[in-house]
Structure 1
Amino acid sequence: MRRLLIGLATATVLVAATACGSSGSSGDSDKGASSGGTTTVKVGIVPIVDVAPLYLGQQKGFYGKRGLTLSLTTAQGGAAIVPGVVSGQFQFGFSNMTSLMVAQSKDMPVRAVANGVASTGVEGKDFGALTVKKDSPIKSAKDLEGKKVAINTFKNITETAVRQSVRTAGGDPDEVEFVELAFDQMPAALDGGRIDAAMVVEPALATVKSQGGTEIASSWVDVAKDLTVAMYFTSTQYAQKNPELVKKFQEATAESLAYADAHPDEVRRIVTTYTKIPAAVLAKVTLPKWPAEPNRDSIEALERLGRQDGLFKTAPDLAKLLP
């Protein structure tokens, strides 16, 4: 399959109020920068609706009351964040489950520490979908054979999900031409005809719909019902050296997930602070679920599809990866 590489530039935005010290692989830098009893930890994230709980948790003081300040740095996808966490550039990261499993299968020292985000499990009403532009002749995922389909990074959960949707519709996923594109660039590329379809998540999904685009598959649902899409993770070395700090991050993140799940209006408001999506579009966004615990069955289904599609040379050890 020919693959076209598009838009690999990574935008970095720091949002913490407290300045961070330089990160490294040993000494005090492993623990984040400390100031006045507060520890600043760097977290690599993707600028999508999924991570709204972190922004809300920071604003509501869930991290602050545990002595943590988050410095949030955006990247194009989990595949770019994983090496940042392993190298010590970030203390924590947000990544889709496939990228974490690929990393673990390569013996990269990653460990999931908190749940991230989950599918709604409802076809046609999920926060991620395979989409086409207005009046596209493409009516189902089977029609994507020989077409350009945008995913945010190669060999991650979006590629697995698109492949499964094509397979479910009776097509051959090996005939799809995947291109790499940041989520926030997908609506314009789709509307401009530079790609034939895009696997988008909110808020980009709402933007595609506002342009007249339509869904042809609920790809998260095609993978597994109530799919655990992503989790927060750290390196095994960092977890071993800083167990109390990791515990504080876990506790604050759990509180943040629960708060986001219970306050959808606040989620929509906070998303306007770290994306360029207008409030009018955000009002139509389909929010994901933020459960306290990952769905192990759905992760195992994702792992089986990854093996089927050749993403793993050796099967990942979920016992080592999952909390």
Structure 2
Amino acid sequence: MSINYKDSGVNIDEGNAFVEAIKDEVKKTYDKNVLGSLGSFAGAYALPSGYKEPVMLGATDGVGTKLKLAIESNKLDNVGIDLVAMCVNDLICNFGIPAFFLDYYATGKLDKLSAARVLQGIVKGCQEAECALIGGETAEMPGMYQGKDFDLAGFAVGIAEKSHLNKNQNIQKGQYLVALPSSGLHSNGFSLVRKILFEVLKKDFNEDFDGRALIDVLLEPTRIYVKLFKQVQNHIEGLAHITGGGILENIPRIFPDHLGAVVDKKSIKIPKIFQFLAQHVETEESFRVFNMGVGMVLVVKPQNLDFILKNTDGYVIGEVVDTHKGISLE
């Protein structure tokens, strides 16, 4: 008896057909620095000119258990945007300009239509982030994933001037914290979200929440801040991506050791979904798990504040202080 790979649950032909089907979609993200074509062993990208001392930066992330809600509701079109966002938003916090992106899609049995929907979201995310999707991996792993389950991982590479890597050392007492609004929950805290809404409160995906289906509110794609960063990078001293750990743990990551900040929580424009969730979570825990409506925090000198407020949708939520106690919510 002869057994082939397909008998074990892996269809090589299906994987090859998927790669062929997505090539034109992926090419929408290409720029002049992309070398070669999709399907090689590695993607190639020419180092952009104009840098004095270019440094390469890398960031990787996933979508977390937000992905489970997307799978259960069959709303797969935006999780690719989330994947790109979580990676490129980290890169800009080190003053890196995203150059290219790679993705990893692992599933038990490849569904070309579902995978294509996810890929189209990744393409949209890369276009918004102005980076090229130069490669990826689609893995069929029967026995590792059940039913329609799949997982995603993303990898972004960017370039920065070496002198900008330590720009946060210019952060000083008296500078302002400017919040850039999030588009919603982004891609953090969903294990707690799922427990509150669907285990404890027994909510339904299609239940109305502030004029929208609850599932659509939850799956609103993560905002990508790359274009805005390019506009303001010369007018800020630092920026923090508010992901897992929330405002309390992410802002201190960019401060010199002797500095902290006071945040006026009454000044934060908290969307209704966070207000609802916060009824079931202690205040400090809410600000540690969720972004509470703040997707990114900029550190701005007083003389640059007017420029930032006029050229972004940001608003002041606090200021830098001389303390070793991290972030104080008042």
TM-score by length of 2: 0.22
Larger radius of gyration: 2
Structure with larger RCO (C-alpha < 8 A, sep 6+)? 1
